[in-house]
């Protein structure tokens, strides 16, 4: 199936975080591809990926990176597609470095920055689905269904001390 979302990350070591974006897209029935694309180790690949993404049919890019997390911003500079940035939790600074590197973009080049770590990756998948859902009523209904199930699950388990 034609992937609609590109999930890219600066290193294979980011996958345990970024796989949560893939889990969400799987749950919502959104096609995606996954690639390691490093801003620093494979800069030519970064430019190639970003410049060709729209032409290949991708609609949204989720980019995760840690530390000096330049991948989302540099990809955003080379594509008209919406880029969702996921700050990976770095060992040295717990991801605060990643967060600031991704969030503090100069005006005129946009990256939608999510939370640090698993929650950010999960929500990047969810937000990508919501973006695509604006032109896909079936997908939008699946997103709404997911959220209703989530709400019901909380309401069904009001006591935190029991199952
Ligand atoms: C970043 O450096 C990657 O996104 C990763 O979060 C971090 C560490 O990479 P590895 O040294 O584990 O490959 O570019």
Look at residue 89 and tell me if it is in a domain: yes
Look at residue 60 and tell me if it is in a domain: yes
- Pocket test of ligand 1: the residue of 7, 12, 13, 120 to mutate, having most ligand atoms within 8 Å of its CB, is 13
Q: What is the DSSP letter of 14?
A: G
Whether 11 has a binding-site annotation, put simply, is yes
pLDDT in tens, the chain (163 residues): 899 999 999 999 999 999 999 999 999 999 999 999 999 999 999 999 999 999 999 999 999 999 999 999 999 999 999 999 999 999 999 999 999 999 999 999 999 999 999 999 999 999 999 999 999 999 999 999 999 999 999 999 999 999 7
pTM of the model: 0.97
Look at residue 142 and tell me if it is in a domain: yes
Q: Which atom of ligand 1 is nearest to the CA of 40?
A: 14
Does ligand 1 have an atom closer than 6 angstroms to the CB of 41?
Answer: no
- Domain extent, residue 46, equals 5-156
Does ligand 1 have an atom closer than 6 angstroms to the CB of 133?
Answer: no
- CATH number assigned to the domain comprising residue 116: 3.40.50.1970
Domain count, the chain: 1
Look at residue 163 and tell me if it is in a domain: no
Look at residue 161 and tell me if it is in a domain: no
Does ligand 1 have an atom closer than 6 angstroms to the CB of 95?
Answer: no
What's the helix, strand, coil split of the chain in %, to 5?
A: 50, 15, 35
Look at residue 162 and tell me if it is in a domain: no
């Amino acid at each position: 199936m034609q992937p609609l979302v590109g999930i890219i990350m600066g290193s294979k070591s980011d996958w345990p975080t970024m796989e949560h974006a893939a889990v969400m897209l799987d749950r919502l029935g959104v096609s995606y591809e996954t690639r390691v694309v490093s801003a620093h180790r494979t800069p030519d690949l970064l430019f190639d990926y970003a410049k060709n993404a729209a032409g290949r049919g991708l609609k949204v890019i989720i980019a995760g990176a840690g530390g000096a997390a330049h991948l989302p911003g540099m990809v955003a500079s080379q594509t008209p597609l919406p880029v969702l940035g996921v700050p990976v939790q770095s060992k040295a600074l717990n991801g605060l470095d990643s967060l600031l590197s991704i969030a503090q973009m100069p005006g005129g080049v946009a990256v939608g920055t999510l939370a640090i770590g698993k929650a950010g990756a999960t929500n990047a998948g969810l937000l990508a689905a919501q973006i695509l859902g604006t032109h896909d009523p079936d997908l939008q209904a699946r997103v709404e269904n997911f959220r209703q199930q989530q709400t019901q699950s909380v309401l069904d388990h009001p006591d935190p001390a029991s199952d």
